[in-house]
Amino acid sequence: MPELPEVETTVRGLAPVLVGERLTLVEPRRADLRRPIPVDLRQRMTGATVTTLGRRAKYGLIDTDRGDTLIFHLGMSGRWRVDPETIGTHDHLLIETAGGRRLALNDPRRFGSLDLVETAALADYPPFVALGPEPLGPDFSAAHLAAAFAGRIAAVKLLLLDQRIVAGLGNIYVCEALNMARIAPTKPAGKVSRPKLATLVAAVREVLLAAIEAGGSTLRDFARPDGELGYFSKQFRVYGREGEACPCGGTVHRRVDGGRSTFYCPTCQR
């Protein structure tokens, strides 16, 4: 599933194509993805001008001058294609601009979603209501984690994946950040010291920023809007590297927690 860096990379790739452009065609090619596509999406978006693009957690945001925001989620394998030569079966939303550009939202498995809400009411959009702070924002701090983890015996990895504690973190980057911070993924969250929490916050930011710079991680079907594949997977410290060497010299192990694979090094992660 595309995680925060992949969505951020997508938003940055779409911005030069869309910002300031009037939308001359907005055409849903089916009635639903994971859930129904708004029936008035075509009417409300056609003729609008895109003002800004942004991201909240793993959702992309396209704001218009009509006071509406198109919210997209890429699901398991969704991606935007810019100026595709042909339109395929799995291109479920087409957008054309007055500048002559064309975009297609491609989602073979249809686990993504499209919603259209008033920009002023974004905070009330149901998936956003309970979200924690952005991991790249100022509200994500050691103090925030200390308060969220206080008295908790649940594993630190599982709590980092809780979107109510921090928004947008996924399995890949949590594994990587915990390894960089030298914290065992199974350690009770409430027992992680304040200095270690500060190290963890820094590691989360470093891993995410490196992944964004690399264009995301190519897992399964993800590609950037320009069609290029992200290459952060070549920089993985532990993820997907069971039996290989950790940067510390130890051996990467794998276990399953909450239905997800956890990659870690028992030598350096305590």
Q: Which residues are catalytic?
A: 2-3, 58, 260
From the CA atom positions of the chain, what is the Rg in Å?
A: 20
CB burial of residue 137 (10 Å; 0-12, 13-18, 19+): exposed
- N-term to C-term CA, the chain: 28
Compute the distance between CA of residue 161 and CA of residue 191 in angstroms, rounded to an integer.
Answer: 17
Compute the distance between CA of residue 256 and CA of residue 37 in angstroms, rounded to an integer.
Answer: 35
**Whether the Cβ atoms of residue 257 and residue 267 lie closer than 8 Å to each other:** no
Residue 86 CB coordination number (10 Å): 7
**Whether the Cβ atoms of residue 117 and residue 84 lie closer than 8 Å to each other:** no
**Spatial CA neighbour of 207 closest among 2, 1, 4:** 4
| β-bridge partners, 245 | 251
